Amino acid sequence: MEFSAPQIAHEVLWPAYVVFGAALLGVLGEAFLPRRRRFVGQVAIATLGLIGGLVGTALVALDLPSVGSDDVAAYGVTTVGDTVALDGPTMFLWGLVLLLGLGGVGLFAERRLESGLSAFAGQAAALPGTEAERKASTEGLDHTEVYPLLMFAVVGMMLFPAANDLLTLFVALEVLSLPLYLLCGLSRRRRLLSQEAAMKYFLLGAFSSGFVIYGIALVYGFSGSMSYAAVTEAVRAGDSGSVLLLTGLGMITVGMLFKVGAVPFHAWTPDVYQGAPTAVTAFMSAATKVAAFGATLRLFYVAFGSERWTWQPMLWVVAIITMLVGAVLAVSQTDVKRMLAYSSIAHTGFILTGLIGLRDTAEVGPAEITSLQAVLFYLVTYSFATLGAFALVGVVRDDSGEVTAMARWAGLGRRSPVVAGVFALFLLSMAGIPLTAGFVGKWAVFAVAVSAGAWPVVVVALASSMIAVFFYVRVILLMYFTADPDPSKAGSADVGVGGDAALAGASSSTEAERGTVTVRSRARVADAVRVETPSLATVVVIAVCVGVTVLLGVMPGPVLDLAGSVGTFIR
């Protein structure tokens, strides 16, 4: 059998090469740069690599050839043996992932909040609480390997939505996932919680990857090919009710729904978001969802588009339970990061509502928003609001580090009105309040779902949105309309003791009638909550997120038009 080398269009792949090259250069930097110069060197390499990739993506997108028909706009090329498709939607997603990657680098580079140290462990191999860990902390050691790991994750996120082949899809899934598993376990503080989060993410992620590869094998058995184009032709020509096809589609869907955090494959999300370093959570919650939904859109629209009457009812059910579970469980959360995690789950359901709005080209009017356009716009609004919200969580601190207990955010609006106001803006956008980006995003996905006949899903989405307003507004009320805890009461505690009570430094009074001793301890129960001033990089990231959230709320037209002008997926 003769082997033919695939044709590779390097002229359109070079933005990914730039990012991948920066990741490799970062690995070499770890090997050869002196320790004291690694931080600056790694930040510079990552930043320049992402900017270079972003500029390249824009240049390639402007020069994509038109391959559509008179009634369907499509731009792009397939390359590497038709396993990678570089089209308009891919370029849009690449640009968004690279922007979020730059935000991630800015948050990873934060050092002012930890007195000159980063949020990452000084020596990941040292057991928590050991002398080795204390020594690493005392010497100010830092894991600058996090920047190459972030870059490798970005490479996977770029390949994931561009995958035009089932095997390429799986490779991209692993490339983006493995660095994230490591990053989640590298927190400098609360290391046991961080390591637990990483282990849960790794084990459940590996389990879901097993479903994906098994489903790929079954679909290959049905179609005889890994190519999306061949799969869709096999679906059209073959038995749409084939056990191989339906079982394979279901198993691949399990893995994709795990990656986006949809119910019932969401259990990892709150634990991982809470335990991971907040900078990692911010990057992961935004960029991973963008890449995963991009890959899911291509998979269902291109490979299984002819089978949509099979998968659309399934996604109806998944979207409904995801929105309800995410919104209802968020109400009971007492930790800000876990609340945002369940909010993220609810938003996954909203995005799925847009995904199931797929219709035939002939059914879409010239002035109507398409399903792809609505989902792309929603990903922009969600990702920047989430990135900014998690970035702000990192600046609310006490002597032990970040303060994520919701009750301790009481009165934050008085102590730091700017931080509280910006956080409230992000929450209002997530709630879908008018004049924020989130409102336009929800309107877009709800509109396409109603046009496709999925009005029951939209009714549930509206109900879930009302539930979500409650827990978002609850945090705002806590920050602005709840009194600060009384420092004198927070700094003392009354303890009833039967028998002897001899505590050094404590004043006591005996109550003979009840046979108890009341001890008032002057020890501090909780440190004062304060808002630390972050570095310039973090301030810029938050400012950009604010700008996007506000501008897309009052002027959504340019980005909506851009999402509509990218055309559709190519095969």
Please report, as a single letter, which amino acid is at residue 78: T
- Note the pLDDT of residue 362: 55
3-state secondary structure of 554: helix
Averaged over 230-245, what is the pLDDT?
Answer: 82
Which among 412, 447, 406, 383 has a CA at the least distance from the CA of 93? 383
- Note the pLDDT of residue 567: 84
3-state secondary structure of 535: coil
In a domain, residue 2? The reply is no
The pLDDT confidence band at residue 67, using thresholds 50, 70 and 90, is confident
Q: Does the pLDDT value for residue 219 go beyond 90?
A: yes
| 228 & 106 share domain | yes
- How far is it, in rounded angstroms, from Cα 176 to Cα 161? 11
In a domain, residue 56? The reply is yes
- Note the pLDDT of residue 517: 39
| 341 & 384 share domain | yes
The pLDDT confidence band at residue 71, using thresholds 50, 70 and 90, is low
- Residue whose entry in the numeric block shows the structure tokens 């184009």: 229
| 513 & 399 share domain | no
The total number of residues written for the chain in this structure: 571
CB 202 within 8 A of CB 216: no
Least confident of 255-269, 481-495, 536-550: 481-495
Averaged over 419-436, what is the pLDDT?
Answer: 94
- Note the pLDDT of residue 491: 39
In a domain, residue 446? The reply is yes
- What lies within 8 Å, CB to CB, of 366 at 6+ separation is none
| 441 & 501 share domain | no
| pLDDT tens digits along 26-48 | 999 988 988 888 889 999 999 99
| 530 & 503 share domain | no
CB 89 within 8 A of CB 372: yes
Q: Where in the sequence is the domain holding 396, given as residue range(s)? A: 10-485+526-565
DSSP assigned state of 238: S
Least confident of 95-99, 132-136, 252-256, 437-441: 132-136
- Note the pLDDT of residue 482: 82
Chain centre distance of CA 350: 15
Cα separation values, 38 from 151, 279, 407, 569, Å: 16, 19, 39, 41
In a domain, residue 267? The reply is yes
- Note the pLDDT of residue 117: 77
| 42 & 96 share domain | yes
- Note the pLDDT of residue 364: 65
CB 318 within 8 A of CB 352: yes
Q: Does the pLDDT value for residue 91 go beyond 90?
A: yes
| 364 & 496 share domain | no
- Note the pLDDT of residue 242: 82
Contacts 24+ apart (CB under 8 A), 495-504: 495/519, 495/521
Cα separation values, 138 from 110, 117, 123, 134, 142, Å: 19, 11, 11, 6, 11
- What lies within 8 Å, CB to CB, of 138 at 6+ separation is none
Q: Does the pLDDT value for residue 89 go beyond 90?
A: yes
* Helix intervals (H) in 33-145: 35-62, 88-108, 131-138
3-state secondary structure of 432: coil
In a domain, residue 1? The reply is no
- Note the pLDDT of residue 519: 38
Q: Which residue has the higher pLDDT, 7 or 316?
A: 316
- 209 by Cβ neighbours in 10 Å (0-12 / 13-18 / 19+) ranks as middle
- Note the pLDDT of residue 485: 62
**Adjacent-strand bridge partners of 531:** 396
Proportion of the chain above pLDDT 70, given as a percent: 87
Its sign, for the CA torsion 447, 448, 452, 456, is: negative
| 432 & 516 share domain | no
| pLDDT tens digits along 450-505 | 988 889 999 999 999 999 999 999 999 999 988 776 444 443 333 333 333 332 33
- Note the pLDDT of residue 492: 36
- Note the pLDDT of residue 2: 64
The pLDDT confidence band at residue 111, using thresholds 50, 70 and 90, is confident
| 314 & 454 share domain | yes
| 514 & 536 share domain | no
Look at the chain and report how many structural domains it folds into.
2
CB 106 within 8 A of CB 542: no
In a domain, residue 570? The reply is no
| 534 & 553 share domain | yes
Which among 17, 77, 23 has a CA at the least distance from the CA of 47? 23
The pLDDT confidence band at residue 8, using thresholds 50, 70 and 90, is confident
Averaged over 117-131, what is the pLDDT?
Answer: 74
Q: Does the pLDDT value for residue 194 go beyond 80?
A: yes
Averaged over 252-278, what is the pLDDT?
Answer: 92
Least confident of 157-171, 300-314, 533-547: 300-314
Q: What is the DSSP string of 173-213?
A: HHHHHHHHHHHHT-BSSSHHHHHHHHHHHHHHHHHHHHHHH
HEC string for 248-263: HHHHHHHHHHHHHCCC
Biggest CA–CA distance in the chain, Å, is 99
3-state secondary structure of 513: coil
| pLDDT tens digits along 326-366 | 999 999 999 999 999 999 999 999 999 999 987 755 566 66
The C-alpha angle 540, 546, 551, rounded to 5 degrees, equals: 125
The pLDDT confidence band at residue 152, using thresholds 50, 70 and 90, is very high
DSSP assigned state of 496: E
The pLDDT confidence band at residue 69, using thresholds 50, 70 and 90, is low
Proportion of the chain above pLDDT 90, given as a percent: 58
CB 403 within 8 A of CB 532: no
Chain centre distance of CA 554: 24
| pLDDT tens digits along 384-409 | 999 999 999 999 988 778 888 998 89
In a domain, residue 5? The reply is no
In a domain, residue 545? The reply is yes
- What lies within 8 Å, CB to CB, of 435 at 6+ separation is 553, 554
Mean per-residue pLDDT of the chain:
86
- Note the pLDDT of residue 509: 37
| 368 & 501 share domain | no
